[in-house]
Structure 1
Amino acid sequence: MNGKRWVAGVLGGVVAAGLVAGCGTPPPPRAAPGPTAGADSARTAAPVPPHLPYGGAPPSAAAPDGPCPEGGVRLREGAGDAAMGLRVADVQLVNCGAQPYELEGYPEIRVLDRSRTPVEVTVGHGSSGITTGAPALDAPPGKVVLRPGQAASVGLVWRNLVTDAERPAAEGWVLEVVPRPGAPRVALELTRSIDLGSTGKLGVGPWSGVTAR
Structure 2
Amino acid sequence: MIAKRWMGGVLVVGVLVGVAGCSTPPAPPAAPGPQLRPTQQGTEAKPTTTRNAPAPVPTPDGTCPEGGVRLVETGGDAAMGLRVEGFQLVNCGTEPYVLEGYPEVSLRDGRNDPLAVTVEHGAQGFTTGVPNIEAAPQRVTLAPGQAAAWSVVWRNLVTDPTVTATTVPVLEIAPRPGAPRLWMRLARPFDLGNTGKLGIGPWTAVTR
**Cα contact 1:146–1:210 (8 A) shared by 2:** no
Which residue number in structure 2 is paired with residue 210 of structure 1? 206
Which residue number in structure 1 is paired with residue 120 of structure 2? 124
Which residue number in structure 2 is paired with residue 98 of structure 1? 94
Which residue, out of 74, 84, 93, partners 2:80?
A: 84
Question: Going by fraction, where is strand more abundant, 1 or 2?
Answer: 2
Greater shift after overlay, 114-123 or 198-207? 114-123
1:210, 1:136 → 2: CA distance? 11
RMSD after superposition: 1.5
Which residue number in structure 2 is paired with residue 115 of structure 1? 111
1:67 CA displacement: 2.4
Please give the per-residue CA displacement for 1:180-213, whole angstroms capped at 9, x wherever unaligned. Answer: 111111111110011101001110000002256x
Question: Helix, strand or coil for the counterpart of 1:184?
Answer: coil
1:121, 1:75 → 2: CA distance? 21
- Say whether 1:194 aligns with 2:190: yes
* Deviation >6 Å, runs of 4+: none
Counterpart amino acid of 1:108?
A: E
1:66 CA displacement: 3.9
**Cα contact 1:120–1:170 (8 A) shared by 2:** no
Counterpart amino acid of 1:75?
A: L
- Say whether 1:168 aligns with 2:172: no
Greater shift after overlay, 202-211 or 150-159? 202-211
- Counterpart mapping for 1:4-19 below 5 A: none
Counterpart amino acid of 1:119?
A: L
Question: Helix, strand or coil for the counterpart of 1:145?
Answer: strand
Counterpart amino acid of 2:156?
A: N
Counterpart amino acid of 2:96?
A: P
Counterpart amino acid of 2:63?
A: P
1:64 CA displacement: 5.7
**Cα contact 1:177–1:185 (8 A) shared by 2:** yes
Which residue number in structure 2 is paired with residue 17 of structure 1? none
2:114, 2:99 → 1: CA distance? 25
Evaluate the alpha carbon distance shift between residue 91 and residue 70 of structure 1 in structure 2; reply closer, same or farther with a 3 A threshold: same
| TM-score of the superposed pair, with normalisation by structure 1 | 0.67
Give ranges in structure 2 of 5+ residues lacking alignment: 1-58
Counterpart amino acid of 2:159?
A: T
| TM-score of the superposed pair, with normalisation by structure 2 | 0.69
Which residue, out of 175, 178, 185, partners 1:179?
A: 175
- Which is higher, the Rg of structure 1 or of structure 2? 2
- Counterpart mapping for 1:21-36 below 5 A: none
